[in-house]
Amino acid sequence: MANFEISALTKLYYSIGEVAKILNVNASLLRFWEKEFDIQIAKKNKKGNRLYSVKEIAVIRTIYDFVKLQGYTIEGAKRVIKGNHPIQLKGTDKNEIIIEQLEKIKQKLQQLKS
């Protein structure tokens, strides 16, 4: 269920299990990304469980898009998010980025086929 709109989220805070279910990933992956991408979770309950705000979920969704959907490595996704990537996302047409990624996937598939 990774295709969801951030605007569709109605609660103030979501548990790690709820976020994992929304993205269809394991909670351990979210904890890993939290460490790797230095995501600061602003709220925890009395037990110490993470409570994700919509803003934090949007950041995680961006990471998910780069790593899971576009095939970036963790380091590559970090560079893109920090803006140190050769592709300037701000000035580039999103369709061009998608086409470029699809062409890379096509090349990989053709290599696997032969």
Q: Where are the domains of the chain?
A: 6-82, 89-114
Q: Six-digit token pair at 8? A: 């569709």
Sign of the Cα pseudo-torsion (46, 51, 53, 56, in order): positive
Averaged pLDDT for residues 11-30: 93
pLDDT at 114: 78
Write the DSSP assignment of 14-63 as a string of letters: EEHHHHHHHHTS-HHHHHHHHHHTT----EE-TT--EEEEHHHHHHHHHH
pLDDT, one tens digit per residue, over 40-52 is: 888 888 998 999 9
Assigned CATH for 6-82: 1.10.1660.10
Q: Contact at 8 Å (CB) between 73 and 107?
A: no
Tell me which residue of 36, 34, 5 sits closest to 22, measured CA to CA.
5
d(CA 51, CA 41): 7
pLDDT at 90: 42
Quick check: pTM over 0.85?
A: no
Averaged pLDDT for residues 75-104: 69
